[in-house]
Structures are given as C-alpha cells and as structure tokens.
Structure 1
Amino acid sequence: MNILDTFVLLLYFGMLMVVGIIGIKKAKSEKDFLLAGSRLGYFSHVGCLAAVIIGGAATMGTTTLGYDFGISGFWFVSMMGLGIAALGLFVVNKIGGYEVFTISQLLGKRFGEGTQLISAIVTAIYTLMVVVTQVIGMGNVIHVLLGWSVIPSMFIGGGIVLFYTILGGMWSITLTDIIQFVVMTIGVFFIMFPYSVDSVGGLTALFNSIPEGHTNLTNIGWDRIFQYFLLYFFGLIVSQDIWQRVFTARNQKVMKSSAISAGLYSVFYALALSMVGMCAFVLLPNLGESQSAFTSLALEILPPGLLGLVLASVCSALMSNASGAIFASATLITNDIIKVYAKKDMTEKDVIKTSRIVTLGLGVLSIIFSIWIQNILVALDMAYAILSGAIFVPLVVGLYWKRVTSQAAFYSIIASSIVIFITFIIYGITSTLPIIYGLITGIIVIVSLTLLSPPASIQLSGSDVKTSNHK
C-alpha cells in the first residue's frame, strides 16, 4: 500500500471513531442505547440490515469459496439473504407487537424466566462466535496489508470496533452501519467487481479460463448447500444481532420491507464476490492461502486510492458485523441475565453502564477465541450450528403452535444444546451432524413434552402474554 491508500484507510477508521463519540450524545435512554430509539426509516434500515449480514466472513469467505469452487460459492451468503427475507415474510408479523429487546425476552414472555435464561446463554455464545469470525477476518486483512503477524492485527481490528461500540451503543452502530453499507456497496459493486472482471479480459474470458466445474452452480456439493441451508437460513431467522437491528425500525411495515430488500441485496453481493474469487483463481493460481484471495487480488489489480477505498469496504463489512454481534451478546447478558437475576432494580443509566462493561469483557474474550481458532468459516459454522440447532425449534414452533408449554421449550433448548456440544466432540467442529441432531432433538422434546402435558390456556397478543403454565 502506498501513502494515499494508507491515508484513505486511516481516514475511514478515524471517521468511525468520531461517529462513536457522536453516538454518546444520542444514547440518552435504554431504548436509545439498545435499539437506536426504534426510529429508522426504510432506506437507513435496509443499510443496517445488509451491513450486519454482510460481515467479514461473508465478504472474504465468499471470495474464498469462489476461488476454490467457482460460482457455486454464492450459496453461502445467499442462504443468509433467504433467511432474512423469510424473517421479513413470516416472522416479523408475529414479533412486531412485542416490547422486547432480545429473542430471549420474547421467549421469556412466552415460556417463562427459565427459558429466557437458557436461551440467553445459548444465543450469547452464538453472537460471541460471530464476533470471533469478524476479528479473524480483520486480523487477516491487516496482516496482508501491513505484513504484521496475525495476532497483533486481531488486537488492532477488534480494538477499533470495541471503541465505538462501547461509547454509543446501537446509535453508534447504526450510524457506522449506514456509512459502512455505502462504502462496501461502492467498494464491491463499483470497484472490485468491474476491475476484477476487466483484469481477466471480461466475463467471457473469465468463464473460458476457469475449470469447467467452476461454472457449475452445484460444484460446491449438495451436502455443503444443505449445510448452508441448515446453518444460515434457519440461523438468520433466530439471530439476536439481526433481531436487534430489526427492532430499530420505526414500524412493522419498515421491518418487513427492509428485511426482504436486504435479503435480495445479499444474493447479488454473493454472486459478485463469487466471480471476484474466480478472477483471483485465474490471476493468482498459486495463491498459498485462498482465505486471503480478496485482499491479495485487490493489492494486485487496483490503482492507488481505489485500493484504499476497497480495503475500507472490507473493513466496513468486518466491523459492522462485529459491532452488531458483540453488542447483541452484551445486550443478552445484561438484559436477560444480569437485570433479571442479579440487579432487578437497575436504572436506565445502570443498564447502559453495565452494557459497556460487558461489551468490553466480551471483546477481550472474542479476541482470545480468535487467536485460538483462526479460521473464519469454521468459526461461523460453529456459531450458527449452536444457534440454529438449539433456538430455532422452540422459537418458531412456539410462535405458531399455541399449545407449546414452558417446560417443553425449556427442556428442548437444554437437550438440543447438550446434543450439539457432544456431537461437536464426536464428529468434529466442521461436521453438519451436530445441527441436524440438535434440530431433531429439539422437535422430539418440544412435541412429546407438550403432548404429554394438559392443554394450557394461552393468549398471545402484543406485549401481553398470559399462560396458565407461565414459570
């Protein structure tokens, strides 16, 4: 990188820190700090949702898959897009009337405090693992750009995210997300994609230069496509960082339309980056580590100035996802565990202060886990396996089957979580079996315990949820 590119990147980082400071003034109440006051309109909300979906794992991971498998690498992020579109189409109308900050709160209203606690723990583990994927990605980007070792690079990237997240909460995250959405859209669609295709001589030359399998939409394998469906389609529907962004919309109509739009955006983003990965395969056939395909190709083909902007777009994707995930995890721990079980009389100022302390602790923990795992796709698969396998069944079944009991949902989450962790140990962290066994276990437990229990009188309307078996 030359001086101009370095200046562009540092200017971008500085802008994010300024936004973090601005967020302090806007985050005056608990709702401001946790949900940005629930005031966002359609365009700003689409940007925020797209930014939280398109993280570093999505950007760098899709390029890696495009390098290794060709156009079929698009399935990875496309399943995320389909998941958030399904959230908008089928779930938003079920959750829009609840005055909640988290998925666990909703489950608590539906099934009682015990279910709220266990779901908060499981979902917090998931969101923490999502942060890990982004810190790994930031470490790889800084490592490629500056030549530093990966470990200090992770500390630097994670530290910047922590700075503005701790200061302004969701307001800072929202403001930076809008900036990051614009930057990554320009960086990928208007710079990186056209420059990559032009460097190989156009689309026709690209498809003539790659192995035949790279043009096949199923080259990645039906087993991998099914794995992505299980992990990311289901996972996005019950993802706390997504839900927390959904609740920042001003009304239910905005929630629904922006979720569908963000899903479509994700599919086009995935196609573009898969082809960028294919271009990297043609231009850099002997690349030792395909995980660095995006940054290595950018360094190879982009002129000064534009290189800095594109690398800023990668950092945008990484940071928006990391900040949203770490804040979601902190919200779960503060709102659903500490506030419910440790300090029930917390004021709004206490909630904000506690959230900042928890965010700092989780940030340090995520960097430690990043150093341990150091593989983006493995870490992301683990995150969504934990979430989808344990939370999807009780949440969705509970929303659509009114007879489900508190005990059934509670033990479904516990049993699924235990099965997932045991099968991770048996089959390894790259296996698809843990999520399948988790989903099957959840269905068996929740259905059998509900049918064995006497029918309960349950009313689900808005934020008032009454049940005769409420814990």
Structure 2
Amino acid sequence: MIRYNAPLLMVLIFLLLTLAVGLYVSERATTFRAYAVGNKRLHTTTLVVTVLATTFGGGGLMRTVSKVHAMGLHHIVVIFALPLGLWINSLLVLRMEPFMAHLSIAETLGSVYGKYTRLIAALLSICFSIGVVAIQINVMSSAIGMCIHLIDPRIVTVLATLILIAYAMVGGIRSITITDIWQFATFTIIIPLLIKFVFIKTDQSFLEVICTLKKQEKFQFSQLFQWNKEQPLKLIWDSLSVACFLDPSVVQRAYMASGPIQAYKVFCRATLFSVIIIGCIASIGLLAFVGNPMLPPTTIWPYILADMPPVYKGCVVLSLLGMTMSTADSNLHTAAIMVSHDIVESIRGIKTIPYVHQLRLAKLTTLVTGLLAMIITVYCSDLIQLSRFVFTSIMTFFKIIIIPPFSLAVFGFRGSARTALIGMTIGILTALTLKKWLQLTIGIGWGLLPMVANGLAMMATHYLLPQPTDKGWIPKNHQQKRIQQLIRAFKKYKKSIDLE
C-alpha cells in the first residue's frame, strides 16, 4: 500500500519542508525596503539561482516539451532565444546605476516619465504577474492529477498554493529567495532522472535516437530556411518575441543586487546556465517524439508518465512543484510591491507613508492576488487557453507599452510624461493595425514593430514638440564610465588567462 502512496507522500513531505524553510528563514522586516528587495548583500550565486528559478516555471516545462514534440526544430530555436533575452538584460543592468535604489521597473519609469507612466506600468505588471501565478497553479493541478489518484488533486493544489502564499506573505523577499534555492535544487536533481526514464522508454541507443531525428522533416535545418514559405519569417518573429521581453519579476532581481557590476555578473551567469536547462528540457521533448512520433499534444505527458514507477512519478511532481512555486512566489511578491508601493504613490502622490501600513498592504496584496489567481484557475482550467491569453495578450501589451520607454531611460533618455504617453499610444495603434492587416497574410503576430513604433514616436515627439530644458539625453556619469572600464579590464584579463 505504501508503494502506491509514494507520490502523495513525497509531495506532502516536499510541501511541509518548503513551508518550514520559508518560515524558518523569514525575518521580521522593519522596513518596506527590506521586505521588498532585502539588504542588497546577497551572494551572486544566490541571485543567479533566484533569477533562474523565476524564469523557468512549470508551465514553461510542460509547454516546451509538448511544442518540441509537435513543432520540432522550429520551437527549439525559439526557446534558445531565452538566454539571449537574459544576456540583453545583462547589458541593460550595466546602465541602471541611477535606478539601483528603486524597488521596481514601474518606479524607474515613474522617476523619468511621471506618475501616469508609473501607474500604467504597475497595472500591466500586476495583471501579468497574476496571470503567471494562475498558470503555475494550473500546472500544479495538472501534474498532481496525472500522478496522484488517491485524492482529489485540487486539495493538494490548494494546499500548495496556500503554502507559497504563506511564506511569501510572511517572509518577503528573503523567504522567497531561500525557498527558490531549495525548489531549484529539487528541479535540477530530478530533471536528469526524467531524461533517463524517457530515454529508456524509447528502447533505442543514443545513435539510433539521433538517426531517427535526422530522418524527420521537422528536425531538419533545411526546413527552417525555405524562403518560399512563411516559416523563416515566423521563426525570426518568435525568436525576437522571446528575446525582447523584460519580465518584471526577473528585472526586479537587478534591484536586489548591490550594484550594476553584481547585477551584470548575475545575468551573465544566468545566461550560461539557462542554455543547459533549456537543453535538458528540449531533450525530454525529443526523446518523447522518438518514443512515439504520432502523439497529439494533449497526450504527451500522460505518455511520458505511463508505466513510470510511483517513486519516479513522485519525482516528476516534485520537479514541477519546485518550478511552479518558485515562479509563482516571485510574481506574487512583484504584484505586492506594485500595489503597495507604485499604485499607492501614483494615485495619492505620497512620497513616504508609514512603513507599518505599507508592509501590511504588501502582505494583504500577496494574499489577495494569490487567492485571485486560484479563482482564475477555477474559471479557466484550460492551460493552453490561459497561457495564450497571458503570453499573447497581456505580455504583448507589456512589451509594446513598457519596454521602449524603459530601455530608452536606461540608456540615458529623460523624456516628459507627454512624450511617453504619445509613444505608448502610437505603439498600441500600430499593434492594432498590424493585427488587423498583416496577421492574415504572413502569419505574424504583433509586438516587435509596435515596440519600434513606440520608441520612434517618443523620439519624434521629443524633437518636434517643445520640451522642458531638463529633458533629453544625459551623458554617462563617472560611475557608469568606471563600470565600463572595469568590464573591459575583466574581459582583457580573462582573455589573457585563456591564452595562457
């Protein structure tokens, strides 16, 4: 009887340990800043792990495996654009020295473009964060339902959600960071076991697996560059869409760093490790395809878990729980900061409010947003439909509206509120036009061109309309020049070591 209860027992032990770790390491924050971004003395390795744990969620694992099986090499190329996005972040954070004292991407935008831009950024970030949490809860339910049949999976899902809400609400960023390490370690240990099991299930050698994939049309490089078709253009669009996105929860990790240099190191190392993680995840989809090429997308994971020993199933659930909880708690925390800090200050115009009230509001927001995400999951239980809404609607609007003004601000542009709002409006109008006229002909969604239109509109507005004297491009300060000199010296030193 114990053998058949193994997955449930493993999940309960994991959840209890997660709650214990989260509550044990929690400190009673005396300031909202400590609750939001910590003491800025975290080790670089700790920040790297929390960036990776936030970036890779359980929903991404399940979607990636299914899409690699269904779409082949096209989706593999697309998902390897994610490390490129982290590398782009590393370049941006080098220029963020003037904003390192901020708590969120919305505050940075507000400091440059005014409170209305800050309010818009906060609202979009909150909507995106709640949607991501809802996706992770949905993945929890699906994983538990596939592996545990003794009780209603919704019971364990609610328990897991309440646990992550509890430690995120009580301990703030410290509890989230430490539990991210625990959850990410669980994921990295178990994923190789899953790869091994799926490989054994193919009943083929490594060379036979490679030969099988070479014979499949969807895994041949020649199919990516058939210019008489729409596929190359779609490939470029999808890759850029993944690379050109600043996740507000991931960017917030830059504000936790001691300075731009540490933030740069964090994102550079995260870039390298993300390549390995994506390779492991993609290999699961490849092996599942070799095992059964004719599977429809909805049956890929049931196929992987079929005939799997109970302990292995428990490990799979733990891996998915680790990924989902580490992504969900970070997004809950981001939403709490946006509400208690950015929304409040944007609406009321308060620069300083009593810490006790701000902390209470942040904790209450964590609870409310977590419960709201659970409700959304109940009413939208289809993971594909929910993911499509979050990552094609909310995320696209976030890209169009937020990324251009933020990138310009980081590189030294100081525009007025009117400049930012006009750029956002032009970006949205461009997106709606492209969606109506181009999507039907070349299959491209909308995002990259509207982002460019937003940035160009901001530049045109700044130079064509009267502006305050303090607006425009600012030169690099001494600190930024010093940072670039240190980076060049470090690269030169590293190159000399490699030559030796």
Q: Same fold (TM over 0.5)?
A: yes
Give, in whole Å, the separation in 2 of the partners of 1:322 and 1:296: 27
Tell me if structure 1 keeps the 8 A contact 2:113–2:416: yes
Aligned to 1:12: 14
Matched, 1:91 2:92: yes
Give, in whole Å, the separation in 2 of the partners of 1:132 and 1:179: 22
Tell me if structure 2 keeps the 8 A contact 1:74–1:274: yes
Aligned to 1:300: 306
What amino acid does structure 2 have at the position aligned with 1:369?
Answer: I
What amino acid does structure 2 have at the position aligned with 1:212?
Answer: Q
Query: In the alignment, which of 368, 371, 395 is matched to residue 364 of structure 1?
Result: 371
Post-superposition CA distance 1:389-426 (Å, at most 9, x none): 21111111233253533321133234535665797799
Give, in whole Å, the separation in 2 of the partners of 1:322 and 1:338: 23
What amino acid does structure 1 have at the position aligned with 2:96?
Answer: I
Query: In the alignment, which of 242, 248, 270 is matched to residue 240 of structure 1?
Result: 248
Structure 1 residues 15 and 392: CA distance shift in structure 2, 3 A = same
**Structure 2: where are the runs of 5+ without partners?**
225-230, 480-500
- What's the TM-score, normalizing by structure 2? 0.81
Tell me if structure 2 keeps the 8 A contact 1:72–1:274: no
Aligned to 1:390: 401
Post-superposition CA distance 1:155-203 (Å, at most 9, x none): 4553333232222221121011111121111111x31223322332233
Give, in whole Å, the separation in 1 of the partners of 2:242 and 2:54: 13
Q: How big is the shift at 1:150?
A: 7.9
Give, in whole Å, the separation in 1 of the partners of 2:475 and 2:102: 14
Aligned to 2:286: 278
Aligned to 1:104: 106
Q: Which of the two has higher C-alpha Rg?
A: 2
- What's the TM-score, normalizing by structure 1? 0.86
Give aligned-pair identity as a percent. Answer: 18
Tell me if structure 2 keeps the 8 A contact 1:135–1:154: yes
- Structure 1 residues 313-324: aligned runs within 5 Å: 313-324=319-330
Structure 1 residues 364 and 302: CA distance shift in structure 2, 3 A = same
- Structure 1 residues 27-426: aligned runs within 5 Å: 27-88=29-90, 90-98=91-99, 99-147=101-149, 155-188=158-191, 190-200=192-202, 201-210=204-213, 212-216=216-220, 221-235=231-245, 238-285=246-293, 287-288=295-296, 290-291=297-298, 293-294=300-301, 296-297=303-304, 299-300=305-306, 302-342=308-348, 344=350, 345-370=352-377, 371-372=379-380, 374-375=383-384, 377-378=387-388, 379-400=390-411, 402=413, 404-417=415-428
Give, in whole Å, the separation in 2 of the partners of 1:218 and 1:333: 49
Structure 1 residues 412 and 433: CA distance shift in structure 2, 3 A = same
When the two chains are superposed, the root-mean-square deviation of aligned CA atoms in Å is: 3.1
Between Structure 1 and Structure 2, how many residues are aligned?
A: 455
Tell me if structure 2 keeps the 8 A contact 1:71–1:274: no
Give, in whole Å, the separation in 1 of the partners of 2:93 and 2:445: 29
Moved more, 125-134 or 7-16: 125-134
Tell me if structure 2 keeps the 8 A contact 1:57–1:380: no
**Structure 1: where are the runs of 5+ without partners?**
465-471
Q: How big is the shift at 1:154?
A: 5.7
Q: How big is the shift at 1:320?
A: 1.0
Tell me if structure 2 keeps the 8 A contact 1:74–1:267: no
Tell me if structure 2 keeps the 8 A contact 1:195–1:301: no
What amino acid does structure 2 have at the position aligned with 1:222?
Answer: P
Structure 1 residues 56 and 347: CA distance shift in structure 2, 3 A = same
Give, in whole Å, the separation in 1 of the partners of 2:13 and 2:154: 23
Post-superposition CA distance 1:117-164 (Å, at most 9, x none): 122122222222222322222222122123578877764553333232
Structure 1 residues 251 and 407: CA distance shift in structure 2, 3 A = same
Structure 1 residues 107 and 218: CA distance shift in structure 2, 3 A = farther
Instruction: Give the secondary-structure state (helix, strand or coil) at the position aligned to 1:25.
Output: coil
Aligned to 1:438: 450
Instruction: Give the secondary-structure state (helix, strand or coil) at the position aligned to 2:81.
Output: helix
Q: How big is the shift at 1:382?
A: 3.0
Give, in whole Å, the separation in 2 of the partners of 1:86 and 1:109: 22
Post-superposition CA distance 1:436-465 (Å, at most 9, x none): 453244134312211223353245788x9x
Q: How big is the shift at 1:8?
A: 1.9
Q: How big is the shift at 1:304?
A: 4.2
Q: How big is the shift at 1:86?
A: 1.3
Aligned to 2:494: none
Post-superposition CA distance 1:41-95 (Å, at most 9, x none): 121111111111111222111111121123443334322221111111x111111
Q: How big is the shift at 1:34?
A: 0.8
Moved more, 360-369 or 270-279: 360-369
Give, in whole Å, the separation in 1 of the partners of 2:172 and 2:414: 37
Structure 1 residues 453 and 218: CA distance shift in structure 2, 3 A = farther
Instruction: Give the secondary-structure state (helix, strand or coil) at the position aligned to 2:59.
Output: helix
Instruction: Give the secondary-structure state (helix, strand or coil) at the position aligned to 2:466.
Output: coil
Instruction: Give the secondary-structure state (helix, strand or coil) at the position aligned to 1:225.
Output: helix
